Structure 1
């Protein structure tokens, strides 16, 4: 099984902590000097595991044991959904156990060990980073599942069946945790870790903390007026520049003991070819939706073959009810929900390109991925980019009248996305096929003309959210958040088969429901506390 747990430090960590990492409740027992205990732990290694498991819970992509991002991206047409929303190849309760484990038994439990250890050793920077990651983790859990264990979580055998806590109550608690994290980092002479995100930069961690609070307040805009809090956070300093982007950087290293390449690259650039299909609606957004190619098209997607699919390679051909079936120009994709037979076409499917997974730039190579490794997996997972913040500010300015002009912020968001994508690993880009400055200007002119001709704020917001959606390539989780909050983009292609109900939250993992007497299963239609949109999302 492939995994992103690749760092040599992490391998050492597993050896050191394997005996005590599963049960926090046992940590108060008398210590045997022959056994390693939390008090003898290296905070740096422990924090490394926190970060790696945090990313695994979100970004893992392998053999239907996927992280949150895969399922969320399938819901909103960023990745291909095979069959029903809650079917055996998508959101099955038996297939999401690892997400819960990666958050509760790894990320959050290690944080619960790290914080008192760092406080005892007066490593306040470590405390601050750990608390910010704790808050980020719980916010993701609430946004994903709704009600989750919090007040009784992580007590091991003392509380083996932790109850579910209200999502809004957890959000409220996390605002306090974030403030505690900021205060710890701001402690005079605080020692910062060599972390995997910001390498111990205090200013950047504080900007992330403020940005997380900003995102949380905006997420709740349907249930209250938080405009003053949002304006205060914008003034205090949030992620506004790409240098401060909250992203996880992968490398090109693959070994028998671990995997440090982008998980989507690992899945789709091996000898077997691309395991994933891309979604026709999303690819068409960049290929033809505006009547011309999006400048990011060749950076996002890579075509393996200069052939038109026919026969067994195109099972949708001639069938009614399909929105696209085949897009033309050798883009081999699938319509949303298409669960027709799967031919042996892994070395023909259009797959992930250079950005953000570190794959290949499409220069009309038409070479299978096994012979064109592109950037060899040295991609990023874009958690919260300055690009995203500009679109969120545009949404907030339009809907809450917070600081900034929504049209200007829309333009800034598009420009930031273009700059991020078009300058990503430029050594991989064939200049003959690279997007030009004029291409970018023409695109922006087109979108702003759409915005100026919109008849009301709903149309204007739809334009903002659609451009944000396009810029989010690689982060389906935030796209799913946006869709549940705004019901936009409004033109998402319909499911071509029998979809079932659109997921407003994840099911609880089967192992949790079966072993925790405090948790009963819920339907996917159960809404997260901030989601007050109509029931007709699809």
Structure 2
């Protein structure tokens, strides 16, 4: 029997929910051989192996998104960029990727015995997504010699060649998915729906083409147009590629990671601050606040922060946005105060937290004033302060979804934003087919609908219409560069919960305009990440000094000028 030296990741799966490695997964080195106590080709359950691949991808994706979330101002970055981008930062995502490859190799061997082309096809799609993520973050990866006993010290492949290989692999996956399987496959994302997996494969290719627009060839544009013309891609929310979290708290805890950070007993909102820059974008850059604001963010206290919380702010900082939106500026490294129950928390979307139902500070002050009883024994000022601090309960006392949020990997809304960008003329876009304005409008509408669907709460239809109309009026009056800025800005807002999309978007387009790092020592924005130290120290084909990258190195599709984003 063939022997496999593998890393197999076992994750406890509940319904369609996955949990993060640090919560409920155990990674174990196993020797897979002909032993009744170990996993072998004759004893392995192919659905278990396939779902292990899927669960590991979810961990890779969430880990990467969490790394760049503060960098792209989706939440607060504490200190310098280098603090969040060390040589160890990519160790875990790298390991997850090769765990996927290990298990896919094993699944392919299972298929030769049991006839499982559809299992293999799904695994190929997941592996392709994982490798694309590595290339987008690091610029390179071990691929052609990966997880091959003939190459114990595999070489690195350049990013463009890996992209080319993944296009071919996705085509192979579609072929496999169209073949007959000996057994039905079960999966945690699409519940065994072959057609949805084929749509995902086509959508990943579409995403890669747009991602590579700065180095696009006419053939790539033609291929993108062909996918759109065929219509077999994620264009409807029913085909969204998402992970659904649950409410179970223990063995395993399957609640959304953001919920675990800020709503679990004893967390007091955790050591998480929301980004003033991102909140300001939603609150103050249009005629009215973005209708998604109370879904994205939950204010625990509408009182203004005390002086010592804000007296360190610089003259050009947001510092405090008012109305209880107590976050931090980009890079602010002031010590953390004991203010966990005052700061803004993640909301109901995508984190499965609470919906912010309070009004503005002025509205709630008026309510408190009207309800004041002079005989209560407290002053009016004390009464107002108490009302502002309790109108929204703290996270741990709030009425919430219990962590039943989502991880939006690739949604119909995201795809329409990508197509809107692609339909712009070059160099802002790709000159692809489609009406950019119509695609942008649909993308925004789908974003609002997704937030409502996940939260189970409705927004005011008139507010949504006013928002969309205002953006479209701005878009129609803009030149080509302005149109790209608007598409990017709205995509950036809509992809909250998946900062991988925002990180790629920012490097690809330079938009939206984001707050500069507030520290003079903040450093340059990471255009990519270091090779993982775990690979450099164990792979003798690499030199830990000469082969290490710089954070300013640009991935193959990022041909924008050095230093053009902060």
Matched, 1:54 2:61: no
2:432 aligned to 398, 402, 406, which one? Answer: 402
Residue 361 of structure 1 deviates from its aligned partner by 0.6
Query: 2:368 matched to which residue of 1?
Result: none
Matched, 1:248 2:276: no
Residue 142 of structure 1 deviates from its aligned partner by 0.7
Query: 2:485 matched to which residue of 1?
Result: 462
* Whole-angstrom CA distance in 2 between matches of 1:115 and 1:529: 30
Note the alpha carbon deviations across 1:46-71, whole angstroms, 9 max, x for none.
Answer: 12211111111221xxxxxxx11012
Counterpart contact for 1:302–1:350, Cα < 8 Å: yes
Query: 1:214 matched to which residue of 2?
Result: 206
CA RMSD of aligned residues (A): 2.2
* Whole-angstrom CA distance in 1 between matches of 2:35 and 2:453: 54
1:495 aligned to 517, 531, 548, which one? Answer: 517
User: How do 1:259-298 and structure 2 match up within 5 A?
Assistant: 259-270=253-264, 271-275=266-270, 276-298=272-294
1:78 aligned to 74, 81, 87, which one? Answer: 74
Query: 1:332 matched to which residue of 2?
Result: 326
* Whole-angstrom CA distance in 1 between matches of 2:352 and 2:112: 38
Query: 2:386 matched to which residue of 1?
Result: none
Counterpart contact for 1:5–1:258, Cα < 8 Å: no
* Whole-angstrom CA distance in 2 between matches of 1:190 and 1:360: 45
Residue 331 of structure 1 deviates from its aligned partner by 0.9
Counterpart contact for 1:6–1:259, Cα < 8 Å: no
* Whole-angstrom CA distance in 1 between matches of 2:537 and 2:171: 36
What SS is found at the alignment partner of 1:222?
A: helix
Cα 1:95/1:137, change in 2 over 3 Å: closer
Note the alpha carbon deviations across 1:322-345, whole angstroms, 9 max, x for none.
Answer: 420001000110101111111122
User: How do 1:359-398 and structure 2 match up within 5 A?
Assistant: 359-364=353-358, 365-372=391-398, 374-398=400-424
* Whole-angstrom CA distance in 2 between matches of 1:379 and 1:110: 28
What SS is found at the alignment partner of 1:93?
A: coil
Query: 1:423 matched to which residue of 2?
Result: 453
Query: 1:14 matched to which residue of 2?
Result: none
What SS is found at the alignment partner of 2:485?
A: helix
Residue 440 of structure 1 deviates from its aligned partner by 0.7
Note the alpha carbon deviations across 1:219-240, whole angstroms, 9 max, x for none.
Answer: 1111123221110011221100
Matched, 1:485 2:508: yes
Counterpart contact for 2:295–2:347, Cα < 8 Å: yes
Query: 1:63 matched to which residue of 2?
Result: none
Residue 192 of structure 1 deviates from its aligned partner by 4.1
* Whole-angstrom CA distance in 2 between matches of 1:5 and 1:116: 22
* Whole-angstrom CA distance in 1 between matches of 2:469 and 2:326: 30
Cα 1:462/1:395, change in 2 over 3 Å: same
* Whole-angstrom CA distance in 2 between matches of 1:192 and 1:380: 26
* Whole-angstrom CA distance in 2 between matches of 1:153 and 1:279: 39
Query: 1:144 matched to which residue of 2?
Result: 137
Cα 1:535/1:253, change in 2 over 3 Å: same
Cα 1:189/1:509, change in 2 over 3 Å: closer
* Whole-angstrom CA distance in 2 between matches of 1:509 and 1:325: 35
Residue 32 of structure 1 deviates from its aligned partner by 4.0
Query: 1:533 matched to which residue of 2?
Result: 560
* Whole-angstrom CA distance in 2 between matches of 1:340 and 1:293: 28
Query: 2:44 matched to which residue of 1?
Result: 41
Number of aligned pairs? 504
Q: Which moved more, 1:49-58 or 1:189-198?
A: 189-198
Matched, 1:117 2:110: yes
Query: 2:348 matched to which residue of 1?
Result: 354
What SS is found at the alignment partner of 1:94?
A: coil
* Whole-angstrom CA distance in 1 between matches of 2:326 and 2:340: 10
Query: 2:362 matched to which residue of 1?
Result: none
Counterpart contact for 1:304–1:367, Cα < 8 Å: yes
* Whole-angstrom CA distance in 1 between matches of 2:91 and 2:326: 32
Counterpart contact for 1:286–1:294, Cα < 8 Å: yes
Counterpart contact for 1:281–1:493, Cα < 8 Å: yes
Query: 2:385 matched to which residue of 1?
Result: none
* Whole-angstrom CA distance in 2 between matches of 1:321 and 1:533: 31
Q: Which moved more, 1:209-218 or 1:32-41?
A: 32-41
Counterpart contact for 2:14–2:254, Cα < 8 Å: no
1:175 aligned to 155, 167, 177, which one? Answer: 167
2:306 aligned to 306, 310, 313, which one? Answer: 310
What SS is found at the alignment partner of 1:424?
A: helix
Query: 1:510 matched to which residue of 2?
Result: 533
Cα 1:79/1:18, change in 2 over 3 Å: closer
